[in-house]
Chain A
Amino acid sequence: MIRQTLQALVCLAFAVVILGPVFLALERLTRVTDSTIFDAWSLWKNANQTDGVLSFTLLVAFTTASFTCMIGFWVASTLAKYEIKHVSLIRAFFVLPFVTPAIVAAVGFLAIIDSDSILSRLGIDLYTQSGFIGKLGEVVGAENLGNFIALILALSWFNISLVIRLIEPMIARLDKDWEDQFNILPKGDSALFKLRYFYLPLYGPGIFVAWSLTFIFSFTSFALPKWLSPQNNTIETLVSIYSSSAGIEGYRVWSSELVLSATIIQFLVLGIAMSLSTILQSKHNSRIELVNENYSRKQRGKLTPLRKIGLSISFIYVISPLLAVLSNSFRSIERTGSETVKTWSFDGWRIAWRGDLSYAGIPEAMTNSVTYAIVCMVIALVVGTTIAATIKQLEDAGKQILARTVDFVSFLPLIVSAITVGLGILIGLLNLFPELLNWRFLPVWAHIMMVCPFVVRIMLPSFRSLDQLYSDQARVLGMTDAEVFWKIKIPLLKPQIIVSAALSMAFSLGEFGASWMLSGIGNWVTLSTLTDQLMSRPNYFPEVRSSAMAVATCLMLMTLILFIISEKFRDENGRGGF
């Protein structure tokens, strides 16, 4: 009884403490604008800066989700079906982007598309959009086509791991005999019928779950559109521009109207996408009869040459931004008059370490980042695990609707996006409790909001797969509930707890949107905001970019270590989650 009460309190506290600031912000915005949340659409239509923003955001999210699913499905099926040496290592590289901080991906892709990059020298000028890309843009009537392509490539890079994580285990464990049996049926002759009656029912729900999650993450992406598509705003970047003057009575009320309407519209679009994803997730889990992966691969044999080439290109696509970040951290520019020379040096690292071109050096930013990540990890782990356990207990008790409600609420922070979370703290919470502005751990609040949903998603399948028999037998042997929890359940859940802990820290280290929102009102410099800060400084200081890349490299290496830890403990059977 006490345990259940505590669990209920934790879930309630999550809903109030974590989601409360967002609702307070909405309350404030509606009061400042003298409108209601139901006026969102008319406010949006009447706002000056919103022309084309919603359609551009939808286009980006839709294109990214579709493109990522295409590429991701191909890579996943290649990794799943064929015998490949070191497949675990190769797969690890493909799933690495998801834990890579968005700001690292942004600066990595900026380095790749820059005017003197290899891509530009090959005539693919995605940055200044001259040459072939410029002409293509004119032909198809698309302004800033190069920037759009770069953004889609970066967002797909970021989300490809999601598709692989969700799809690959499913394909790998599909019995090849099923395909063979279908082929000899009358409808097995036609490729269309094969797609309609075999592949779509089997893979469809999984692909759509991956599609909808990619859609959500692309729709709410902030760092990548901010840096790669500066000419076109998404809802998230638009809110970031005008949020600093939002929520202030009598001052730039139009910015409050814009932020309020953008937040509600984003909330609704993502809510619909999330609902569809949740509904399909249950179908996705129970469709396929599983066989051993290695058995399945042996049936199909080695990679074809075409697959080898495709996989190699995909591999280069995945590692290029990371290598670009690393190599550019050692590039220095020297200017004398009208001449500039690029050289290799440690100047960027030296300057970034000392903080000569920024408000903080790497040591201070790293200390903040690590401290926030540890605090975030501990709290998110406790809260997330408790929520997951509660959902499982509700399911066992037959309270499916309540279980799904708790499940859905736990995912809400992702629906409201990082910028909105930061906004919630900024104009919702801090106006009621201004003394929190001096609280060192304020950014952790936002980090926990963003990380908890992932912990729930990782822990919930583990609770579901936990065999009740162990607990029952332990109780028969005289163990108390507490002993069952500590001596039976915790050891069984250890791998997932470590994965959750490592990923919580990685996500916290890389969290950018909410931290960026809060960085304007206090001294909360983290590695991700320091990278952005340096990238935003005028290039008049020649080492600005290499310093930014040095900070990004630190961030990348730290998340890489955490990723390796999480992969080491990841249960092979649990590959289908985050």
Chain B
Amino acid sequence: MKKQFLIALMMICVSTAGCIEQAELENLLDTDLDLCAGDLPVIRESNGTLRIITYDIYALSEEVVQEFTNQTGIEVEFIRTEDAGGILDQMMLTKNAPQADLMIGLDNTYSGVAMDNCLLQENTVSRQNITEDLGDNVFGETNELVPFDHGHICINYDSTYVDGENVTVPTSLWDFTEEAWKGKVAFPSAVSSSPGRAFMLATTDYFENETEWDWWAQMIANDAIITSGWTEAYEVHYSAGYGQWYDGFIGDAHATVSYCHSPGVEAFFGENYTTSVALDLPKASLHQIEYAGIINGAANVDYANQFIGFLLSEDVNTNMPANNYMYSVLSDTDLPEENGYRYHSPVPEQPADVDLDQVDIEALVEIYAQIIA
């Protein structure tokens, strides 16, 4: 009786809400609003504070933000999501009622969706100090996206496991499907992690859009460890990462997907000690660029422009390698040589060449999700 009542109640409420609020819902939630074509976006209400949506980006430390406030008098507050995907989800969810002025952290694998959905607006930030090939917007002629850091994503392996005798250095991604790597490779999921997504895209080029899904299927059959985020894959499972020194370490994977300069970060903070090595296979890495952009409907556009300018200032951006463990986007900068940071950070000779503007990444993610299920 109660169950019947429950179902009936639910049906009534769902259908009633559908009837009564239909017009309002259509108005508020219709995602076909063509903001890019010239309709004015809804401007969010503001209390005069610059609101930034971002994820756990180390560069945005309290000291850095305080320095910005000291310089400009502009107060800043943050909405923090779990990862880059969370930024996009939140922006999509509130696209008709934006909650922030500035987005920091969408990378080139997510930005296409933001651009397609008109979530960002043009900015007035000068790009003259940005390394030439990073400054171009791969998603069109406009300048909604401003890069603030970058790095290459590739497989890292534990050199104590790959000793050259029992296990040799892989020369092909197919090598990871062999017995020696059974249950010993950890991948952050392309569904929920930006490094995972970037590596999945790299494999489409590596396997020339033909056998990438076979390879992924074989990796799953070879007991590859799939984690929801980079932190769990690298810190908990990867045997040569910094996780080995702390609580919560398992260390059952001798290879994982991370940045090609992750071994350099290990060395930098480990007094030039690391057993982690980046695997530089042709077309098995992807150049990831992280962007900042002003949200369509931002209340404090001028403040947002100033913050992006601050993020690109020499004082802040040249410290990216030490503060954010990523490359600076400014011209004539590189990783520091201190403690072997640069030495252990190879730059891939032939990264994957994926036309991110043309690829339907979400469709690829869906196929990927079916395979790893």
Enumerate chain A interface residues (CB-CB to B < 8 A): 19-20, 23-24, 26-28, 30-31, 37, 48-51, 110, 114-116, 127-128, 230, 241, 244-245, 247-252, 254, 267, 271-272, 275, 278, 333, 335-338, 340, 355-356, 359, 401, 404-405, 408-409, 412, 426-427, 430-432, 434-435, 437-438, 520-523, 536-540, 542, 545
From B25, B89, B117, B372, contact of A244 by CB (8 A): B89
With A37-B10, A523-B79, A539-B246: A432-B28 Cβ-Cβ less than 8 Å: yes
> Inside 8 A of A241's CB, which chain B residues have their CB?
192, 228
> Inside 8 A of B356's CB, which chain A residues have their CB?
none
Asked whether, in the complex, the Cβ of B86 is within 8 Å of the Cβ of A520, the reply is: yes
Bound: A27/B24 CA distance, A: 14
Q: Which chain A residue shows the least CB distance to B82?
A: A520
Asked whether, in the complex, the Cβ of A248 is within 8 Å of the Cβ of B3, the reply is: no
Asked whether, in the complex, the Cβ of A340 is within 8 Å of the Cβ of B245, the reply is: yes
Bound: A411/B28 CA distance, A: 32
Asked whether, in the complex, the Cβ of B94 is within 8 Å of the Cβ of A27, the reply is: no
Asked whether, in the complex, the Cβ of A521 is within 8 Å of the Cβ of B82, the reply is: no
From B30, B235, B270, B373, contact of A337 by CB (8 A): B270
Asked whether, in the complex, the Cβ of A248 is within 8 Å of the Cβ of B89, the reply is: yes
B37 within 8 A of A: no
Asked whether, in the complex, the Cβ of A24 is within 8 Å of the Cβ of B99, the reply is: no
Bound: A245/B31 CA distance, A: 14
Bound: A520/B92 CA distance, A: 13
19 contacts between A and B (CB under 8 A): A23-B10, A26-B14, A31-B25, A48-B372, A49-B373, A110-B248, A230-B228, A244-B89, A251-B92, A252-B362, A271-B6, A333-B245, A335-B245, A337-B270, A337-B271, A408-B2, A408-B5, A521-B79, A521-B90
> Inside 8 A of B10's CB, which chain A residues have their CB?
23, 26, 37, 267
Asked whether, in the complex, the Cβ of A539 is within 8 Å of the Cβ of B247, the reply is: yes
Asked whether, in the complex, the Cβ of A539 is within 8 Å of the Cβ of B243, the reply is: yes
B293 within 8 A of A: no
Least CB distance, A302 to chain B, in whole angstroms: 43
> Inside 8 A of B2's CB, which chain A residues have their CB?
271, 275, 278, 404-405, 408
> Inside 8 A of A536's CB, which chain B residues have their CB?
82, 231
B77 within 8 A of A: yes
Bound: A43/B101 CA distance, A: 37
Q: Which chain B residue shows the least CB distance to A26?
A: B14
Asked whether, in the complex, the Cβ of B93 is within 8 Å of the Cβ of A30, the reply is: no
> Inside 8 A of A245's CB, which chain B residues have their CB?
85, 89, 92
Least CB distance, B237 to chain A, in whole angstroms: 10
Identify the interface centre among B1, B6, B192, B235: most chain A CB within 10 Å of its CB.
Answer: B6
Bound: A404/B1 CA distance, A: 10
Q: Which chain B residue shows the least CB distance to A254?
A: B366
> Inside 8 A of A278's CB, which chain B residues have their CB?
2
Asked whether, in the complex, the Cβ of B82 is within 8 Å of the Cβ of A538, the reply is: no
Bound: A19/B113 CA distance, A: 33
Asked whether, in the complex, the Cβ of B362 is within 8 Å of the Cβ of A114, the reply is: no
Least CB distance, A547 to chain B, in whole angstroms: 13
> Inside 8 A of B373's CB, which chain A residues have their CB?
48-51
Given contact pairs A49-B373, A251-B117, enumerate 16 new A-B contacts (beta carbons under 8 Å). A27-B18, A37-B11, A49-B369, A114-B248, A115-B247, A127-B250, A244-B89, A245-B85, A271-B3, A336-B271, A430-B94, A437-B97, A438-B45, A521-B93, A522-B79, A539-B247
Least CB distance, B182 to chain A, in whole angstroms: 14
Least CB distance, B190 to chain A, in whole angstroms: 12
> Inside 8 A of B248's CB, which chain A residues have their CB?
110, 114-115, 127, 539, 545
B252 within 8 A of A: yes
Asked whether, in the complex, the Cβ of A48 is within 8 Å of the Cβ of B369, the reply is: yes
Enumerate chain B interface residues (CB-CB to A < 8 A): 1-3, 5-6, 9-11, 13-14, 17-18, 21, 24-25, 28-31, 45, 56, 62, 77-82, 85-86, 89-90, 92-94, 96-97, 99, 113, 117, 191-192, 227-228, 231-232, 235, 242-243, 245-252, 269-271, 273, 362, 366, 369-370, 372-373
Bound: A438/B82 CA distance, A: 20
> Inside 8 A of B372's CB, which chain A residues have their CB?
48
Q: Which chain B residue shows the least CB distance to A359?
A: B80
Bound: A435/B11 CA distance, A: 28
Bound: A537/B242 CA distance, A: 13
> Inside 8 A of A356's CB, which chain B residues have their CB?
62
Bound: A465/B180 CA distance, A: 70
> Inside 8 A of A31's CB, which chain B residues have their CB?
18, 25
> Inside 8 A of A340's CB, which chain B residues have their CB?
245-246
Bound: A430/B11 CA distance, A: 21
> Inside 8 A of B18's CB, which chain A residues have their CB?
27, 31
With A248-B31, A254-B366, A337-B270: A24-B17 Cβ-Cβ less than 8 Å: yes
Asked whether, in the complex, the Cβ of B245 is within 8 Å of the Cβ of A408, the reply is: no
Asked whether, in the complex, the Cβ of A230 is within 8 Å of the Cβ of B273, the reply is: no
Bound: A338/B90 CA distance, A: 40
> Inside 8 A of B99's CB, which chain A residues have their CB?
434, 437-438, 521-522
With A275-B3, A405-B5: A23-B14 Cβ-Cβ less than 8 Å: yes
> Inside 8 A of A230's CB, which chain B residues have their CB?
227-228, 232
Least CB distance, A358 to chain B, in whole angstroms: 10
Bound: A278/B1 CA distance, A: 12
Bound: A23/B25 CA distance, A: 14
Asked whether, in the complex, the Cβ of A437 is within 8 Å of the Cβ of B6, the reply is: no
Asked whether, in the complex, the Cβ of B249 is within 8 Å of the Cβ of A30, the reply is: no
Least CB distance, B315 to chain A, in whole angstroms: 21
From B28, B96, B246, contact of A545 by CB (8 A): B246
Least CB distance, A356 to chain B, in whole angstroms: 8
Asked whether, in the complex, the Cβ of A254 is within 8 Å of the Cβ of B93, the reply is: no
Asked whether, in the complex, the Cβ of A431 is within 8 Å of the Cβ of B78, the reply is: no
From B79, B93, B97, contact of A427 by CB (8 A): B93
> Inside 8 A of B6's CB, which chain A residues have their CB?
271, 408, 412
> Inside 8 A of A244's CB, which chain B residues have their CB?
81-82, 85-86, 89-90, 93
Bound: A214/B117 CA distance, A: 45
Bound: A412/B235 CA distance, A: 40
Asked whether, in the complex, the Cβ of A432 is within 8 Å of the Cβ of B235, the reply is: no
> Inside 8 A of B86's CB, which chain A residues have their CB?
244, 520
Q: Which chain A residue shows the least CB distance to B366?
A: A254
> Inside 8 A of A23's CB, which chain B residues have their CB?
10, 13-14, 17
> Inside 8 A of B13's CB, which chain A residues have their CB?
19-20, 23
Least CB distance, B28 to chain A, in whole angstroms: 7
Bound: A168/B354 CA distance, A: 66
Asked whether, in the complex, the Cβ of A333 is within 8 Å of the Cβ of B24, the reply is: no
Bound: A338/B270 CA distance, A: 7
Bound: A128/B251 CA distance, A: 8
With A250-B31, A521-B99: A434-B94 Cβ-Cβ less than 8 Å: yes
Bound: A408/B6 CA distance, A: 9
Least CB distance, B3 to chain A, in whole angstroms: 6
Bound: A340/B14 CA distance, A: 57
Bound: A335/B274 CA distance, A: 13
> Inside 8 A of B28's CB, which chain A residues have their CB?
431-432, 434
> Inside 8 A of B90's CB, which chain A residues have their CB?
244, 520-521
Bound: A275/B3 CA distance, A: 7
> Inside 8 A of B14's CB, which chain A residues have their CB?
23, 26-27, 30, 37
> Inside 8 A of B252's CB, which chain A residues have their CB?
128
With A37-B11, A250-B31, A521-B94: A432-B25 Cβ-Cβ less than 8 Å: yes
Asked whether, in the complex, the Cβ of B247 is within 8 Å of the Cβ of A523, the reply is: no
Q: Which chain B residue shows the least CB distance to A274?
A: B2
With A26-B14, A404-B2: A254-B369 Cβ-Cβ less than 8 Å: yes
> Inside 8 A of B362's CB, which chain A residues have their CB?
251-252
Q: Which chain B residue shows the least CB distance to A437?
A: B99
Bound: A26/B94 CA distance, A: 18
Q: Which chain B residue shows the least CB distance to A542?
A: B246
Q: Which chain B residue shows the least CB distance to A251?
A: B92
> Inside 8 A of A248's CB, which chain B residues have their CB?
31, 89, 92-93
Identify the interface centre among A51, A272, A408, A540: most chain B CB within 10 Å of its CB.
Answer: A540
Bound: A92/B235 CA distance, A: 39
Bound: A435/B45 CA distance, A: 9
> Inside 8 A of A427's CB, which chain B residues have their CB?
93
